[in-house]
Structure 1
Amino acid sequence: MEFPPCPNSLKSIQHFLKLAQEHDSRDIVIAYWARLYALQIGLKASSQSAEETQLLLAIMDWLEQMKKTHADNEAITNDIAAQAHIENYALKLFLYADKQDREENFGKNVVKAYYSSGVLYDILLTFGELSEEALHNRKYAKYKAAYIHNCLKNGETPIPGPFPDDESAELNGESPAGVKDEAGTNVTAPEEPSTDAQSDNVEPSSPAPQTTPPTVEEVLNNPNKLPSPPVEEEKPGGFEPYVPPAQPNAAIFQPAVPVHITPDQMITAQKYCKYAGSALNYDDVKTAIENLQKALKLLTTGAE
């Protein structure tokens, strides 16, 4: 379906529409919820001009058509399944970008992956407030996208991996130039840490292996190649990607007396189980285990 051009007055939804367009043939679930979120934002920002109305009506028609065509796709018809699908997709992009970043494989693919991950975490606001992990990854992804983009633009070598946070590195909904659509933007690069503040005893890092990193498309089209989170020593003051706390052994969840489970708790447990099922679709065993453990704990202790 051909959509009318996005007027400048709805510039705030352009990056969601761009993401949707890129996923029309790759992942209809991502395309659907990206356009739905764009519609929600667009309706709030619209001044009801003819150009705005034409675009928003076209998005509405497309959404209705997709909902009928994919009525058997739970990730489109069910909010819980959709949220789990998008969370896993965003995390996959985030881990890919973080791995390439730490290995100093800088380029447009890394910027695009970080940025797209941040946009996906924005889309998750459709379902309510973000979790601590999602909030952390969203901020870090946008931070790194802006920083690496501006370093490359200015001919500088980015610092790999995390370093002290700088609040000036917000993208404010803008897409970095060179992230596929070459759209211009005014992104302020974060200030690099002062060399005086760095320890003289820190040894230089080993050079990254000379291998050709996979592209964003290769990662997304090969679910079995989900990268593992990097393991590094914690640096004081660093901005480390969020690592969920270790879950207790399931054996301690065996209740001594029967536990009364409320209807709301039962729904929450079902949600965790669906998250686990969605994670397994991407061969993300770690996330599946974490969600199953949460469900087991809730059902056996009555506490989250």
Structure 2
Amino acid sequence: VSFQGRLYAMQTGMKIDSKTPECRKFLSKLMDQLEAMKKQFGDNEAITQEIVGSAHVENYALKMFLYADNEDRAGQFHKNMIKSFYTASLLIDVLTVFGELSEENAQHRKYARWKAAYIHNCLKNGETPQPGPIGMEGESFDAEREEAGSSSVHGGTAPSSSSASAYEANNIPTSNYTGIHIPPGAHAPANTPAEIPHNTGMS
């Protein structure tokens, strides 16, 4: 995961600025780190094969999303849950190294970022966040969750155009989650997993 994350940073950095001395120095150092990791983990298929690498990053992102989503639905609001939502969204960003995101992953990224900002602002302002998806029909969504288990739901209600405004780039939380003011009202992706594996992989 760290290798793919650095690769994503490298590609993103080159798109932003690859000409100034400071950026060239940073990118050169990052490239050296990638080459060193390739040599060190040359027998790791998650690094040598794109399909395996993509599946590995996606699986880890989903585990973090499931952990945060499960805590959210249980009304357990804390910093680790917020960080897990936001980190899951960043790992989905990393998946763009392998190509365009699927609609499912794009929706999970939007929802995770929105939830991280919404819950952070609620806690910061001394308010109690509303657990789970906000603005959805409770009975119909619960039924979808029961049918889906830990897999994706086919069909269902997609985010409305009004709630989509909560996902604008200028509303993406920063690393310390400050200055974010996203109003509630967004929908969870229709295929939001309902269950979390017993072994989340979280330490």
TM range (shorter): 0.7 to 0.9
- Whole-angstrom CA distance in 1 between matches of 2:181 and 2:101: 25
Q: In percent, how many aligned pairs have the same letter?
A: 49
- Whole-angstrom CA distance in 1 between matches of 2:117 and 2:34: 31
- Whole-angstrom CA distance in 2 between matches of 1:79 and 1:158: 39
Structure 1 window deviating more from structure 2 (160-169 vs 40-49): it is 160-169
1:51-200 maps to which residues of 2 (within 5 A)? Answer: 51-164=22-135, 166-170=163-167, 172=169, 174-177=173-176, 185-190=178-183, 192=184
> Which of 1 and 2 has higher RCO (CA within 8 Å, sep 6+)?
2
- Whole-angstrom CA distance in 1 between matches of 2:108 and 2:15: 26
- Whole-angstrom CA distance in 1 between matches of 2:192 and 2:120: 25
> Match of 2:87, as an amino acid?
S
Q: Which of 182, 188, 192 is residue 239 of structure 1 equivalent to?
A: 188
- Whole-angstrom CA distance in 2 between matches of 1:171 and 1:89: 25
TM-score (norm: length of structure 2): 0.75
How far 1:132 sits from its partner (Å)?
Answer: 2.6
Larger helix proportion of the pair: 2
What is the aligned length? 168
How far 1:133 sits from its partner (Å)?
Answer: 2.0
Structure 1 unaligned spans of 5+: 1-29, 179-184, 194-236, 245-281, 285-304
> Match of 1:118, as an amino acid?
S
1:48 paired residue number: 19
How far 1:51 sits from its partner (Å)?
Answer: 1.7
Structure 2 unaligned spans of 5+: 136-158, 194-198
Question: Do the aligned partners of 2:117 and 2:182 also contact (CA within 8 Å) in 1?
Answer: yes
TM-score (norm: length of structure 1): 0.51
